[in-house]
Amino acid sequence: MRSNEERVAAVKKRVKEEEQKKHRRQRTLLAVSCTAASILCIIAMAAVMPSAVEEAVSENYAVFGTTASIFGRSTTSGYVLIGTVSFVLGTAVGVLFCRIRERNRSDGKREKNEGI
């Protein structure tokens, strides 16, 4: 027969194991979601780019400075659009990596405190 302390310890151990499984599932779900979103972005860009390039070729851009105008009707707006999208994507990736790092740090501290 187990004593009450042994039963409580066994229950706490099972709770920790379930929490670890839950965190692993959340990490896996996050990774799969990010991968799926990336693939969807790539597919969307692949679907849009042929028409954008065809339009650029049909308008016969001979000057290098007008290259960005395939994303807008003027060179300036094209470069502004490209710069803005690049900044937003870079910021999003940076924030994502910072959050992943913080989560890994907090998980590591929690595991050290729990003695795992």
- Higher-confidence residue of 37 and 53: namely 37
Quote the CA–CA distance of 103 and 24 in Å, as a whole number. Answer: 12
Q: Are 49 and 55 in contact (CB under 8 A)?
A: no
pLDDT of residue 18: 93
Q: How far apart are CA 26 and CA 100, in angstroms?
A: 12
Does residue 15 register a pLDDT over 80?
Answer: yes
**Distance, CA of 66 to chain centre:** 32
Q: How far apart are CA 107 and CA 93, in angstroms?
A: 21
> Is residue 60's pLDDT more than 80?
no
The confidence band for 90, taking pLDDT boundaries of 50, 70 and 90, is confident
Residue 22 has a pLDDT of 92
Please give the pLDDT value at position 75. Answer: 63
Answer whether 34's CB lies under 8 Å from 40's CB.
Answer: no
